[in-house]
């Protein structure tokens, strides 16, 4: 199995409810290591660039508004098959479909305010990690 890195974002609905520590505990107990972490407030420009692949989707404007509505925690997670593994720890996009015990099943408020982001492929993970972090910021 390969050691991978993936980008995680703890979204504004979760930071608002002071859930950063509880989410980090699920990440760590799920076997992933938090090797970089920063709390930021996204601007519309940053949110729009980050979610650029969703530009044509009906929810794009609302999603960008939501991502700017409070602080977020951007993180790099490392571990065996980290990209797929984190998607499992997160659960399905819609919390109504998320498996019990997943972050989204436990904490998400809605399909939009679903507490966390995780990269969905090796290509996107590389792009998304370098969107927020330089190599010197990541300490494995």
Active-site residue list: 117
From 14, 63, 72, 103, residue interacting with ligand ADP (rule: CB under 6 A): 63
What DSSP designation does 99 have? P
- Contact map string, positions 94 to 113, toward ligand ADP, x by CB under 6 A: -----------------xx-
Among 20, 71, 105, 120, binds ligand ADP (CB under 6 A): 120
Q: What does the per-residue mask of binding to Mg ion show for 107-136, with x meaning CB under 5 A?
A: -------------x----------------
User: Token digits for 131?
Assistant: 């969107």
With beta carbons less than 8 A apart as the criterion, state whether 11 and 116 touch: yes
What is the C-alpha to C-alpha distance for residues 88 and 80, in angstroms, rounded to an integer?
13
Distances (CA, A) of 140 to 4, 32, 71, 77, 91: 11, 11, 25, 9, 25
Q: Which residue has the tokens 């980090």?
A: 24
Partner whose binding site includes residue 115, from Mg ion, ligand ADP, none (CB under 5 to 8 Å by kind): none
What is the number of other CB atoms lying within 10 angstroms of the CB of residue 23? 23
Please, what is the minimum distance in Å from the beta carbon of residue 112 to ligand ADP? 4
Q: Which does 105 bind (CB under 5 to 8 A by kind): Mg ion, ligand ADP, none?
A: none
């Amino acid at each position: 199995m390969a050691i991978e890195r993936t980008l995680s974002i703890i979204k504004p609905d979760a930071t608002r409810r002071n859930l950063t520590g509880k989410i980090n505990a699920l990440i760590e107990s799920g076997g992933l290591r938090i090797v970089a972490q920063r709390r930021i407030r996204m601007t519309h420009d940053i949110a729009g660039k980050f979610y650029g692949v969703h530009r044509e989707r009906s929810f794009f404007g609302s999603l960008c508004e939501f991502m700017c509505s409070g602080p977020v925690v951007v993180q790099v997670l490392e571990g065996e098959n980290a990209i797929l593994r984190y998607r499992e720890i997160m659960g399905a996009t819609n919390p109504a479909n998320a498996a019990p015990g997943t972050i989204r099943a436990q904490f998400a408020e809605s399909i939009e305010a679903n507490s966390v982001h995780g990269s969905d492929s090796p290509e996107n993970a590389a792009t998304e990690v370098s969107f927020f972090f330089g190599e010197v910021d990541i300490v494995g």
